Chains A and B, each alone.
Chain A
Amino acid sequence: DIQMTQSPSSLSASVGDRVTITCRASQGIRDDLGWYQQKPGEAPKRLIYTASSLQSGVPSRFSGSGSGTEFTLAISSLQPEDFATYYCLQHNSFPLTFGGGTKVEIK
């Protein structure tokens, strides 16, 4: 099984800060990775697909990078609506696996 190690598990940041979240795969997954945002009481929403492609309608302050085993989600300038929990998902092989999540909180 492919393990997805996501870090950090939580972070505190201020509006306007640049934030980066990392997912590391236990083996190569090419670019078969997505990033998701989840707010309390809501379903997750995909932000990034194939590691670096921005989902339609998602603000351009979100970006994804990486391939193989190391992946990064970046938020260039944190906005109030971005405080949420973020997950990565590898869909390269079964069982599909999520990272443990990163909760982004207000400093």
Chain B
Amino acid sequence: EVQLVESGGGLVQPGGSLRLSCAASGFTFSSYWMSWVRQAPGKGLEWVASIKEDGREKDCVDSVKGRFTISRDNAKSSVYLQMNSVRAEDTAVYYCAWGKSAASWGQGTLVTVSS
């Protein structure tokens, strides 16, 4: 059974940094793209970033370019989202998802950006 467990969310001040982690199990992690998707309170889903199996290819939504970085550690079956220079509009539940097609999702971790 695929399991994705996010951690690292919390309250952060505008301009601050946070690192989200997602631990994966139940599939051959090193063989799949991984993604982050977020959902602001009361809003729809927004794709944030994806990273290829070997980490050499990645992409992210324009609104986070230059501020957020996706990375992975295949030895630990984990994917990360480094969030820098956060803004109020980054407040959301952040989900880790299996693959570009988001076949399976974690339970999410809440990030609140507020002073």
Which A positions have Cβ atoms within 8 angstroms of B?
32, 34, 36, 38, 43-46, 49, 55, 87, 89, 91, 94-101
Contacts and interface: CB of A to CB of B under 8 A. Distances in A.
A29 to B, nearest CB: 12
A43 B59 contact: no
Given A96-B35, A98-B44, A46 B104 contact: yes
A95 B101 contact: no
Interface string B25-53: 00000000001000000001111001000
What bracket does the count of chain B residues touching chain A fall in? Answer: 20 to 34
Nearest to A33: B101
Nearest to A34: B101
A49 B44 contact: no
Nearest to B43: A101
Given A43-B106, A95-B59, A49 B101 contact: yes
Nearest to A46: B103
B50 A94 contact: yes
Given A43-B95, A91-B100, A98 B47 contact: yes
A34 B102 contact: yes
A53 to B, nearest CB: 11
A95 to B, nearest CB: 5
Contacts of B13: none
A43 B108 contact: yes
Given A45-B105, A46-B103, 10 more contacts: A34-B102, A34-B103, A44-B102, A55-B103, A89-B47, A89-B102, A91-B101, A94-B59, A96-B47, A96-B100
B88 interface: no
A36 B39 CA distance: 14
B95 A95 contact: no
29 contacts: A34-B102, A36-B102, A43-B95, A43-B105, A43-B107, A44-B45, A44-B102, A44-B105, A46-B101, A46-B102, A46-B103, A46-B104, A49-B101, A49-B103, A89-B101, A89-B102, A91-B100, A94-B59, A95-B47, A95-B59, A95-B60, A95-B62, A96-B35, A96-B50, A97-B47, A98-B46, A98-B47, A99-B44, A101-B45
